[in-house]
């Protein structure tokens, strides 16, 4: 059996492979090694007749804090990407498209928080279930760049995508389900059981039929331009890196993010206080 560095595997039910992101000391930050291991497991599951559905969840206090910015994300990637400006965005966009091209369904199970690149991993999955208190955001749009894999407008619609792109604001689980970012939201204590219930329903369907059902939905979305729209956005991430404000951000990114996070906390407290008085 293969041993993995960044993920753990278990079988919580017949036909179900559960993948747990296992870098709690890094808040499950998505490294190149993790992306490689996720693809290896999912592609192995596609060939394994004993597996009919996969679940991806986070270990510890959260789903994931996003891409691991502490290392070179393009060192030994899982597959080749044409070099040059935009190579990183092209790499991860193709990475997450590979989830869609798998025969067998993949479910994202989100608790704690999912930030920036972690939301891209989630949206690569076929079904998404979140805890009511999950916190979902893409704050980097305020200081550095648009998303690397720009799913927002094709999957959420123009108005919601525009709000996320211009504010980088946070949403909780129920809102994520309401706008279509997730299928459903559940109390955190029930999330494991509810996701396993859905996975068990999927595992009861023969793989040869399930893969046709999955492929049909993705093909229809493709005809509607979803993939083309996501791919078209990848060059904007590279373009943002040349802007004057982003060059300033790169000089001291930690301090900039700390200031933004502190301001966010103040706004959130004021907003919650205002709404509680209405």
Instruction: Look at residue 234 in the predicted model and tell me its pLDDT.
Output: 84
List beta partners, residue 137: 115
Note the pLDDT tens digit of each residue in 39-98: 999 999 999 999 999 999 999 999 999 999 887 888 899 999 999 989 999 999 999 999
Pair 9, 47: CB distance under 8 Å: no
Instruction: Look at residue 252 in the predicted model and tell me its pLDDT.
Output: 85
Question: Which tokens belong to 40?
Answer: 């290896």
List the single range of 14-18, 33-37, 205-209, 235-239 with lowest mean pLDDT: 235-239
Cα maximum dimension of the chain: 57
d(CA 107, CA 191): 12
Q: Which run of H or E residues covers position 28?
A: none
pLDDT score of 261 more than 80: no
Phi-psi category of residue 15: left, alpha or beta, with phi > 0 → left and psi -120 to 50 → alpha: left
C-alpha radius of gyration, the chain, whole number: 19
State residue 77 phi and psi, 5-degree precision: -70, 165
């Amino acid at each position: 059996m293969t041993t993995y560095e960044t993920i753990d595997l278990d079988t919580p039910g017949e036909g179900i492979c559960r993948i747990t992101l296992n870098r709690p000391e890094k808040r499950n930050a998505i490294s190149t090694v993790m992306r490689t291991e996720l693809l290896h497991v999912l592609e192995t599951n596609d060939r394994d007749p004993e597996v009919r559905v996969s679940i991806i969840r986070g270990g510890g206090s959260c789903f994931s804090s996003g891409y691991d910015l502490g290392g070179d994300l393009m060192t030994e990637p899982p597959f080749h990407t044409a070099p040059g400006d935009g190579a990183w965005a092209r790499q991860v966009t193709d990475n997450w498209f590979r989830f869609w091209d798998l025969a067998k369904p993949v479910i994202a199970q989100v608790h704690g928080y999912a930030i920036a690149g972690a939301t891209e991993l989630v949206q690569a999955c076929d079904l998404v279930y979140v805890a009511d208190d999950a916190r979902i955001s893409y704050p980097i749009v305020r200081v550095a760049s648009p998303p690397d894999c720009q799913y927002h407008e094709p999957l959420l619609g123009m108005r919601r995508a525009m709000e996320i792109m211009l504010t980088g604001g946070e949403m909780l689980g129920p809102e994520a389900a309401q706008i279509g970012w997730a299928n459903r939201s559940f109390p955190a204590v029930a999330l494991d059981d509810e996701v396993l219930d859905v996975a068990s329903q999927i595992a009861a369907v023969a793989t040869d039929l399930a893969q046709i059902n999955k492929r049909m939905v993705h093909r229809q979305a493709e005809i509607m331009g979803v993939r083309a729209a996501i791919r078209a956005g990848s060059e904007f991430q590279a373009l943002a890196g040349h802007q004057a404000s982003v060059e300033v951000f790169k000089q001291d990114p930690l301090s900039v993010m700390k200031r933004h996070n502190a301001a966010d906390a103040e706004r959130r407290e004021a907003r919650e206080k205002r709404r509680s008085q209405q």
